[in-house]
């Protein structure tokens, strides 16, 4: 079995008996292998219905769904489902089975031998960050977040090429929710599964999705695009309203400082010839010089008086704060600038050396231009410290 499969909906229609209108009218879209596709929309938009059609928990009225190019309709539902991970908001852990028993569910259905199931259980516990002794606990003995992790581990147990997740973090408090989202993205960076993720929360969609399918009433696809495109160029009024008036701000969460064009700074050291410093200043995007130490780390902004002589003197007009990092998310970097009540701040790389200057002007420029290559959500996960 492949680690990730493609999924394609072809003119899928779903009518429920007795319902006046179809839940899904005519839905077509394709998910690439290893991508997270988020289905998002208001209630009644058919997003959960669409997800449940993929593993035949529901049968389409017409149309076809292809998993790795093969129609799911040609498969026995139970066999198909064992190949597709399934995690739902209510989790649905089996209360009469231990954590190990729950995680080993699909491997047991697939008749793996006991040794292999046991190894897999411990591998998954490690993957989701639960201690091995949790294996013997019952679901009732776990916290909500732990249960949710076990639910994800259970969905991943047989290494399915497709994972269906229906509001998996919907019932979790905001703090743990963000933590679980980050954990999942970190996991996904390693596993590279194809994921269909259902949510009603546009912020979660933007955070989690490689691509977002915005659905409206009757399962109509309003727009299917990567998050940045959705925010930059909403296809219609519905999408515009759905992503919210703050869509420009939301884009800030999608990029890191390194993704935008930084200003070139004039970095000078104490004792450097003033002549040379003035030449640097002429070539820089900023009419003020940044004093750095021997390791090129920012010290502060130089005052005019520092250049009154032959060599640069250590006379500062202000400190270098705020210093932002190349890996910071734009939203956080902007927050730093606003907090420090300044228009710009030096940007440093991993070693602390100055890599450029981030200004509010550069930020707003970045928001109005289309970036060539936006990072995948798995590249935007905050560091462990932020998550933990």
Instruction: Catalog residues that contact another protein under the rule CB under 8 A.
Output: 55, 57, 77-82, 86, 88, 90-98, 105-106, 109, 137-138, 140-141, 151, 154-155, 164
C-alpha 21/C-alpha 18 separation (Å) is 9
Residues 20, 78: contact at Cβ < 8 Å?
A: no
- The answer, yes or no, to whether the previous bond of 322 is cis (omega within 30 of 0) is yes
For another protein, the closer of residues 145 and 382 by Cβ is: 145
**Closest distance of CB 155 from another protein, Å:** 8
Q: How many residues does the chain have?
A: 388
**Closest distance of CB 105 from another protein, Å:** 6
Degrees to nearest 5, angle at CA 337 with 335 and 342:
150
For another protein, the closer of residues 98 and 267 by Cβ is: 98
C-alpha 165/C-alpha 150 separation (Å) is 13
Give me Rg for the CA atoms of the chain.
Answer: 26
**Closest distance of CB 124 from another protein, Å:** 14
**Closest distance of CB 243 from another protein, Å:** 30
C-alpha 14/C-alpha 22 separation (Å) is 6
Cα dihedral 119, 4, 189, 196, rounded to 10, equals -110
For another protein, the closer of residues 153 and 202 by Cβ is: 153
For another protein, the closer of residues 41 and 139 by Cβ is: 139
For another protein, the closer of residues 157 and 363 by Cβ is: 157
Burial classification of residue 38, based on how many CB atoms lie within 10 Å of its CB (0-12 exposed, 13-18 middle, 19 or more buried): buried
- Strand stretches in 160-253, DSSP E: 162-166, 194-199, 211-216, 220-225
- Choose among 281, 284, 283, 257: nearest CA to 347: 257
**HSE value, Cβ hemisphere, 13 Å, CA-based, for 51:** 29
For another protein, the closer of residues 158 and 348 by Cβ is: 158
**Closest distance of CB 20 from another protein, Å:** 25
**Closest distance of CB 236 from another protein, Å:** 33
For another protein, the closer of residues 105 and 378 by Cβ is: 105
**Closest distance of CB 131 from another protein, Å:** 17
For another protein, the closer of residues 90 and 276 by Cβ is: 90
Alpha carbon of 183 to those of 51, 68, 384: distances in Å? 22, 27, 9
**Closest distance of CB 11 from another protein, Å:** 24
3-state secondary structure of 302: strand
Residues 92, 165: contact at Cβ < 8 Å?
A: no
């Amino acid at each position: 079995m492949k680690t990730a499969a493609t999924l394609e909906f072809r003119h899928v229609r779903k009518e429920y008996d007795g319902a006046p209108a179809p839940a899904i009218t005519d839905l077509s879209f394709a998910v690439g292998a290893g991508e997270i596709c988020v289905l998002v929309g208001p209630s009644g938009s058919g997003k959960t219905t669409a997800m449940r059609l993929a593993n035949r928990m529901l049968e389409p009225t017409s149309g076809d769904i292809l998993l790795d190019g093969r129609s799911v309709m040609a498969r026995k539902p139970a066999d198909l489902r064992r190949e597709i991970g399934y995690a739902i908001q209510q989790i649905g852990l089996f209360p009469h089975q231990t954590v190990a028993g729950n995680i080993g569910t699909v491997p047991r259905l697939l008749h793996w031998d006991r040794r292999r199931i046991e190894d897999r259980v411990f591998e998954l516990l490690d993957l989701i960050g639960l201690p091995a002794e949790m294996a013997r606990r019952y679901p009732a003995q776990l916290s909500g977040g732990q249960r949710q992790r076990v639910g994800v581990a259970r969905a991943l147990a047989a290494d399915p090429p497709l994972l269906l997740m229906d509001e998996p973090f919907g019932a979790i408090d905001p703090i743990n929710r963000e933590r679980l989202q980050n954990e999942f993205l970190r996991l996904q960076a390693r596993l590279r599964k194809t994921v269909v993720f259902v949510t009603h929360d546009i912020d979660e969609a933007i955070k989690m999705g490689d691509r977002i399918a915005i659905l409206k009433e009757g399962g109509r696809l309003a727009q299917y695009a990567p998050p940045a495109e959705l925010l930059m160029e909403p296809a219609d009024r519905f999408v515009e309203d759905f992503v919210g008036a703050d869509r420009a701000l939301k884009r800030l969460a999608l990029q890191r400082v390194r993704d935008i064009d930084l200003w070139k700074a004039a970095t000078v050291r104490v004792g450097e010839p003033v002549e040379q410093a003035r030449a640097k200043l002429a070539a820089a995007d900023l009419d003020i010089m940044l004093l750095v130490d021997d390791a090129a780390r920012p010290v502060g902004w130089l005052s005019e008086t520092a250049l009154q002589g032959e060599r640069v003197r250590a006379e500062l007009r202000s400190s270098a704060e705020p210093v932002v990092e190349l890996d910071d998310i734009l939203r956080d970097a902007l927050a730093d600038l606003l907090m420090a009540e300044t228009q710009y701040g030096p940007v440093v790389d991993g070693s602390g050396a100055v890599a450029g200057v981030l200004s509010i002007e550069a930020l707003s420029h970045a928001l109005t231009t289309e970036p060539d290559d936006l990072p995948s959500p798995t590249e935007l996960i905050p560091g462990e410290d932020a998550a933990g």
